[in-house]
Chains A and B, each alone.
Chain A
């Protein structure tokens, strides 16, 4: 079991992160460490500052205060693509997939494999389908590369989105409500996908409202409230009841 104060090298380390939007203080003094292969649940009510924190890590906007270290080195992200370049991927709630394209096309969207034909570079459909199949295999998902995304179930769509992060060899994957709005059996699929990522040494940050999911896959849970980190505990040292009271503010900190 990995603890928050593990001496091992952290993949992501936040120190005193704060963010103001005009007069509104969205985040204040957030410290956070995530080690490789660790799954951290990020919980909090609406407006607690979860999305702001995720967006800062993903490079959507810079923090007003504090320092982000990735793989031990300080980093500054101007745009999301900078965060991707160092190995941070976000799987968005609405999944950011193009429905009209195939699973393989979505996995490779923006990073298409090409083959040269004289001066022209054409899409290498075959190689992309083969690699996508490999990735789905690693994730033990039965998603078929040639299927259109619009015909897929919520679980399969998650598999496609997660396969995208494997393609780039991401070191930190942040998942925004991956289990909202899908069926119970598909939740199982998604949680097992998270296990696959963990097995491969990927750090996962799971943003979720669903207590059972967090307690099923996470090593650690971080609770946000009113822009501050109120708790950061190993799953074994806490309970759903305690986390709930931390989220609602019934308990101030732990």
Chain B
């Protein structure tokens, strides 16, 4: 049941080893910490996106949320001199509220997730640009939120706080998704919403909650990105970031049809994406090929995974045939050869 994650981990290790062999700078301490920081930054909202994808939905609005919440956050701290704990709280609430609105439109008004969040992408970006008259917002020379800045972009013993936060978050969400009733319902809703409803599950609430969590994590990510870049230009801040999250989730084993995926997989998917970006730089591949490399690896990865799954299914089908057939000698051999895949029920 951890086959997918194991495969992804091996892929990550092999790519890292090859890159490291070609250019040892890849494995230098500085570079590893830099990557850890980026994995932390991109992993947090990828986890939220993953939950949404497990429900069978999608959230395209994340990058624009960063821009809107980002300019509001900086404005609160600089222009309005709001104390940072309050500004932080407001941004988190803002993320939760945007996620809540999207969840409401999708579950109550039965709109398609793609459309709702695509419109979110357009609206939030437009609102951010209008609010700032398309000008970049940044911190002045004062230290408006040095405490928060130190938390968000600091490190403990050299390890970036963003990465530490991602690990803690992954553990919490891992328990939520794989050990709690809510997680079980999320998988059920994602695969067969009707079945879940017939079982007495409030499917609307389960799905909407996923969007709210995703929005809330977008709020957290906004703050981390703001202190990473120290300024927000509303037309480009967070552009395409939702696609990184979707890519990470899909690489990590989430199916866009819903009902499949794991927290560990999403984290590994994020790590793989960041390693790929990094190796483009390190190996001196022209930066313009960055997206092309990423796209190729995702395509190959998903294709390979599909082929492997199809093979496993054939084996399992053969085994169940052998099991129900009248006692034949080789049935036990076939049975043990087909280990059931248990995506969606990682214990």
Mark A residues whose CB is within 8 Å of B.
80-81, 84, 90, 92, 94-102, 105, 109-112, 114, 120-123, 125, 146-148, 151-153, 164, 185
Contact = CB atoms under 8 A, between A and B. Distances in A.
A101 B180 contact: no
B191 A109 contact: no
29 contacts: A84-B200, A90-B198, A92-B198, A98-B187, A98-B196, A98-B259, A99-B259, A100-B259, A100-B260, A100-B343, A101-B187, A101-B344, A101-B345, A102-B342, A109-B188, A109-B196, A109-B201, A110-B199, A110-B201, A111-B199, A112-B181, A123-B179, A147-B340, A148-B340, A148-B341, A148-B342, A151-B313, A152-B320, A164-B199
A90 B341 CA distance: 29
Contacts of A153: 320, 324
Contacts of B343: 100
B195 interface: yes
Nearest to B321: A153
Interface of B: 175, 179-181, 184-185, 187-188, 190-192, 194-196, 198-201, 259-260, 313, 316-317, 320, 324, 340-345, 347
Contact of B184 (A80, A97, A101, A152): A101
A96 B320 contact: no
A114 B181 contact: yes
Contacts, number: 89
User: Could you say which of B188, B194, B313, B343 has the most chain A C-beta atoms within 10 Å of its C-beta?
Assistant: B188
A151 B340 contact: yes
B180 A123 contact: yes
Nearest to A99: B191
B199 A96 contact: yes
B340 to A, nearest CB: 6
A96 B342 contact: no
B192 A96 contact: yes
A100 B198 contact: no
Contacts of A94: 194
Given A151-B316, A151-B340, A152-B320, A100 B199 contact: no
